[in-house]
Amino acid sequence: MYPLGASYDGAGVNFALFSQVAEKVELCLFDDNDNETRVAMTEQNSYVWHNYIPGLQPGQRYGYRVYGPFDPDRGLRCNPNKLLLDPYAKAIEGNIDGDESLFSYWFKSPDSITAMNDLDSAAHTMKSVVVNQYFDWGNDQHPNIPYHDSVIYEAHVRGMTNLNQDVPPDIRGTYAGLAYPSVIEYLKKLGITAIELMPIHQFVNDSFLQEKGLSNYWGYNTIGFFAPHNAYSSSGERGEQVNEFKSMVKAYHRAGIEVILDVVYNHTAEGNNRGPMLSFKGIDNKAYYRLVDNDQRHYFDTTGTGNSLLMRSPHALQLITDSLRYWVTEMHVDGFRFDLAATLARQFQEVDKLSAFFDIVEQDPVISRVKPIAEPWDLGSGGYQVGGFPSSWSEWNGRYRDCVRDFWRSQPSTLPEFASRLMGSSDLYQMNGRRPVASVNFITAHDGFTMNDLVSYNEKHNDANGEGNRDGESNNRSWNCGVEGPTVIPDVVELRERQMRNMFSTLLFSQGIPMICGGDEVARTQQGNNNAYCQDNEISWTNWELDESQKNLLRFVSKLIHLRLEHPVLHRRRFFTGREQGDGPEKIPQVEWFDHTGSIMDMDDWSNTHAFSVMIYLNGSDIPETDWYGKQMVDNDFILIFNAHYEPIMFTLPDEKYGRKWQLVVDTHNPDGPELNYEAEFVITAQSRSFLLLMSAKLPQQQEQLF
């Protein structure tokens, strides 16, 4: 009856705010000179305070002051001296400046629970903005790319285009810049099917970072779950950012590329008991936040940020689900990657696989039709939940990342797990009926080393963060190839380039959904910084002035992506089945594993702790799937050869029952070499630390008959 937030109907605006604890609520309207007019919210139904004010127009700035009990020991923090953001604000203007007025306590006595800070925060905080929701979407449609056909590109709105000379200077680092034709064309040519944007919900630039001359670059500090971040707008902050974001989505959809948002519903920017009061704290602290049992002054924290949203509160759940629906229905996004998603399933202490949040997502007619991706861990007890999410979810596979890094730096006893990760991690997902697409495979992401830095540094180099290099992960499973940092030694440079090609080949020929960290395809470096969350500068931005080696890597990665997408056996919907007990020697399974002699691997081969090589046959004639037209899929056969050993290895190709003629299509040791032809049982050399991909010379006869 009274939709939460500010709703413009052409004649005026309806304002509605939930607060169960409030005794009085004032709507605060601001003119262009920041003069404040307070209007008492006179209507109340079911703890929703609401007013309709005729004549107001989009662009109107507003906030709330909530009167009620201030008793931190009981989790009550109402303070009418603080101007509060509307939790349902569709646009937000400005940012905070760290002034003492933003806090509910006095800096001189932060532990005092009775001395309420009565400074007015209006001049130092953000303001909500009324927006006009009308936008001409034309015939915009969700691309609806099948999961198994997806290739995800993790990107940062600012970092993607801030140094891109092809983008006009006035729109670099903005939604408009990301939607510029040359940027979209670049991603299309690369072969990307979905762009996953790091947080664009309105976030707070932390005052402690501002004091150090830094800023919150990554954006995992949300305060507005309905508002596109205003600093990424080239057109304005009074609603213009909404239309600019919509135009960006529309442009990507026109190109057939999906837009996925990295969303942070596990906590807010208000932090712990010493954090600022910006919105939820002052509106209804106990309804939105999980407080410590028997100590409601403090916040239960499984996120490492100071607070966690209360996932058993119907009001917190409503906020999250209303937000998700809004971004699908009004902003037309195609999916979400949920940051620290294990927190969303914590109704009580433990991670609950039957939580209300999962139930809502599963049955909601809007949210359930887009792609949900979990970061399946948080910092709480039992928080590592890879493989533990419901069947409709995909997950960032952290075990894939770790295993592939270990394999290519020749760590012992990695081959069996490497084989499982390559085939879609059936050990994690198949037991509960999930498919390979449950696994979002990645080797690098925003959090950690870039691909270039992964092969260039053994140690983190985070001095620019101003924390004495104490921040960030110390165990990176990286290998610098013999020299720490930049070098001109030819052998080291060549090995690093080959290692990047090896890892890209592994990623793009693994079953599951591959995700590329933006800029890795052009060997982006962060100079060894593995925690660049506060580096809104050239440390984090992608430099598009490419040298020849970077151009070569870009061409190589694009070739791999298109190979993957063109061949269904390289991105199957179902798990492979191997040789089963009772199969005769004439049986050719969907996948076969060989050692370097061309013999089928036995248990001794798999248990060899120092086995760093394997040859894999993929059967293109046995794909238990149909195409869009209901016809049986048939593809070329493939042979994948992995050699993570420091010496070359001679591989004998399988006998002719697996295929008579083979064409070498990928060689990471010689990426620009000729596509040589080989026959069955021919001996081929895999150079040290290299990958080879061979394809059968022609499609099976069955394929020729179908078309």
The residues that are catalytic are 339, 375
Query: Which amino acid, one-letter code, is at 597?
Result: T
Surface-to-core class of residue 548, CB atoms within 10 Å of its CB (0-12 exposed, 13-18 middle, 19+ buried): exposed
Of 657, 668, 639, 501, nearest to 570 (Cα)? 639
Q: Which helix (H) or strand (E) holds 335?
A: strand 335-338
Cα 558 to its chain centre, rounded Å, is 21
User: CA dist 14 to 25, 56, 250, 440, 580, Å?
Assistant: 15, 9, 29, 42, 66
- Please provide residue 432's backbone torsions phi and psi, each rounded to the nearest 5 degrees: -110, 30
CB 182 within 8 A of CB 292: no
Surface-to-core class of residue 365, CB atoms within 10 Å of its CB (0-12 exposed, 13-18 middle, 19+ buried): exposed
Q: Which helix (H) or strand (E) holds 440?
A: strand 439-441
| Alpha carbon distance 680, 658 (integer Å) | 8
Of 221, 277, 269, 225, nearest to 99 (Cα)? 277
| Alpha carbon distance 146, 365 (integer Å) | 19
* Maximum separation of any 2 CA atoms in the chain, in Å: 85
| Continuous H helices in 539-578 | 548-566
Of 88, 118, 87, nearest to 103 (Cα)? 118
- Please provide residue 211's backbone torsions phi and psi, each rounded to the nearest 5 degrees: -65, -30
Query: Which amino acid, one-letter code, is at 638?
Result: F
CB 455 within 8 A of CB 463: no
* DSSP assignments along 568-584, one per residue: GGGS-SS------TT--
**Residue 547: which residues within 8 A CB-CB, separation 6 or more?**
none
**Torsion over CA of 526, 530, 536 and 539, rounded to 10 degrees?**
-10
Of 308, 306, 307, 326, nearest to 318 (Cα)? 326
Of 552, 559, 502, 495, nearest to 523 (Cα)? 552
* Cα angle value 630/364/345 (rounded, 5°): 110
